[in-house]
Structure 1
Amino acid sequence: MSLSFDIGGHFPLHSLPAPQPEPVLLGKIGSLEVRLAVDEAEIRAAQALRFRVFYQELNARLTNPTHDLRDADRFDDICDHLLVFDTALPGRPHQQIVGCYRLLPQSRALTAGGFYSADEFEMDRLVARHPDLNFLELGRSCVLPPYRSKRTIELLWQGIWAYVKANNIDVMAGCASFQGTVPAAHAEALSFLAQNCTAEGEWAVRAVPTRFCSMDLVPAEAINAKTALAALPPLIKGYLRLGARFGEGCVVDCDFGTTDVFVVMPVSAISERYISYYGGAA
């Protein structure tokens, strides 16, 4: 016997759409709001935004193009998608997305066969050394050009921090990028990270041997710390301010046209003033 509802007609139960989760706001600055994606339309809009930034603006190489111009891979289905919305824009929520971050919790990475970053860095070894800690991989960060401002970055960090607290995350990690495929073009900045900000001891992690490129390209006495810091991409500079350390070696990603470094950020190492700032704001 089939079940039906009498609301002006009979509809089999299985034909009713599944209820969507209510959006939970994680942060707000002016007309900008940050929260997780709640449906397929929002995820697809984030993939389209990534395509605009990575492929149309930064000229990444299309290796697996989709017919509707989206940047998508197998990890999208198991990740949470942190989104920034400009509610002052017209249209439905998925048409208001101006920034995104992809979050992969360790529990889901294990079911999917590993982390995205493991293709470039020995992240699995790092995780194995900390069996009692809960890791979160951050990746695929991008923001539309008009919104590349301090407040958008702060809003993303409000969202990340709320997610970290809600999911009992102990360590954040993942790849961050310099634009271009010639490490020597970023010699001073990379060398500064290698000489002053390398993760050591139990947090040490290296690029995989087949893709390892040295970051230590300039003698310490030839480095000007001020110019090296100024040359860091904003995202990497933000990680550094929060207390992050970096893996040994960088990796050239020819598909995305970037030179990638690995970021390691134990929550316990984050400066208390940033915890108070982002925690209070969120």
Structure 2
Amino acid sequence: MASAVLLNKGRYRARLAQSAPDVTAAQALRTLAFATDQTDRDDFDNTCAHVLIEDMRCGGQLVCCFRMLTMENGSEIGQSYSSQYYDLSALGEFSGRMVEMGRFCIHPDWSDPDILRVAWGAMTAFVDRNGVKMLFGCSSFAGTETEEYLDAFAMLKHRHLAPKRWLPRVKAPDVFRFASRLRRRPDAKKAMLRMPPLLRTYLLMGGWVSDHAVVDRHMNTLHVFTGLEIGAIPPARKRLLRAVAV
């Protein structure tokens, strides 16, 4: 069996879940981080690989987790979690291996920015090992009210919309069509302050988003479909990611 450890960096270790108790621990952290009334689990947990990031200075405490669903190409896009909320038929033409990254969360008692860097290092190691050509998923804003995020959505409209050939279409019944509704120019500072850290990292690497946000009242979030073509990541950014991943 290949090593489950994706990387060790400073006080943190990133590894793939190897057992049912590992997955249960990830579900417990998600439940805590997402503040849900019931355990956060679904059928996708059975088919995904789960990445666990542990603080080895605190006895291996689980401080971050996310899950990954690997697809050989776009013909399998209908099996993704995201396809429940977005019409992703355009991505059915994508010819390379794809990974859906989901349920990303960090323990609310940990605020070390190195955790996010280690998470992306672990993802980079996985991408390189498996020849992945695209990452995608849903990037969430806390709450379902759009008002405090208008500069962030305006920034997404003006700089980060998906290429037309991959653009997701509306499928969910409750959406905020920010690309067609917003007329404001974004305040860049306010936009970046309100942008979720995970989405901000996607964008720094050349990621793109859908032209609308889904209002998910069950999870109490607004989310945008987010895609990142590995071949489009700027070379300098790739070098930084791979420096973390070794």
The TM-score with structure 2 as length reference comes to 0.91
Q: CA deviation at 1:73?
A: 0.3
CA contact (8 A) 1:29 1:151 kept: no
Could you give the per-residue CA deviations for residues 244-277 of structure 1, whole angstroms, max 9, x where no partner exists?
A: 0111111000011000111010001111112111
Which of residues 114, 126, 130 is equivalent to 2:90?
Answer: 126
Query: Stretches of 4+ moved more than 4 A in 1?
Result: 107-113
Aligned mates of 1:108, 1:253 — CA distance in 2:
27
Specify the code of the residue in structure 2 equivalent to 1:129: E
Q: CA deviation at 1:243?
A: 0.9
Aligned: 1:240 with 2:203:
yes
Which of residues 212, 219, 225 is equivalent to 1:249?
Answer: 212
CA contact (8 A) 2:73 2:96 kept: no
CA contact (8 A) 1:26 1:34 kept: yes
Specify the code of the residue in structure 2 equivalent to 1:268: G
CA contact (8 A) 2:17 2:52 kept: yes
CA contact (8 A) 1:207 1:250 kept: no
Q: CA deviation at 1:112?
A: 10
The residue aligned with 1:149 is 112
The residue aligned with 2:23 is 43
| CA gap 1:209/1:112 in 2 versus in 1, 3 angstroms | closer
Q: CA deviation at 1:133?
A: 1.4
- SS of the equivalent of 1:71 reads coil
- SS of the equivalent of 1:188 reads helix
The residue aligned with 1:190 is 153
Q: Once superposed, what is the RMSD of the aligned Cα atoms?
A: 2.2
Could you give the per-residue CA deviations for residues 101-143 of structure 1, whole angstroms, max 9, x where no partner exists?
A: 11011149978961001111123x133121x211110110001
Which of residues 63, 77, 81 is equivalent to 2:46?
Answer: 77
Q: CA deviation at 1:218?
A: 3.7
Gaps of 5+ in 1: 1-20
Aligned length: 244
Could you give the per-residue CA deviations for residues 184-212 of structure 1, whole angstroms, max 9, x where no partner exists?
A: 33112112102221012222223316333
Aligned mates of 1:179, 1:49 — CA distance in 2:
17
- SS of the equivalent of 1:145 reads coil
Q: CA deviation at 1:233?
A: 1.3
Specify the code of the residue in structure 2 equivalent to 1:127: L
1:58-77 matched pairs, under 5 angstroms: 60=36, 62=37, 65=38, 70-77=39-46
Aligned mates of 2:8, 2:90 — CA distance in 1:
34
Instruction: Name which one, 1 or 2, has greater alpha-carbon Rg.
Output: 1
Aligned mates of 2:77, 2:203 — CA distance in 1:
29
Aligned: 1:104 with 2:69:
yes
CA contact (8 A) 1:49 1:144 kept: yes
Which one has the bigger strand percentage?
2
Aligned mates of 2:24, 2:73 — CA distance in 1:
20
Q: CA deviation at 1:155?
A: 0.2
Gaps of 5+ in 2: none
| CA gap 1:209/1:49 in 2 versus in 1, 3 angstroms | closer
1:159-238 matched pairs, under 5 angstroms: 159-208=122-171, 210-216=173-179, 217-221=181-185, 223-238=186-201
Aligned mates of 1:108, 1:247 — CA distance in 2:
20
CA contact (8 A) 1:172 1:265 kept: yes
Could you give the per-residue CA deviations for residues 152-177 of structure 1, whole angstroms, max 9, x where no partner exists?
A: 00100010011111111111111011
Aligned mates of 2:203, 2:77 — CA distance in 1:
29
Aligned mates of 2:105, 2:170 — CA distance in 1:
23
Q: CA deviation at 1:148?
A: 2.8
Aligned mates of 2:77, 2:96 — CA distance in 1:
19
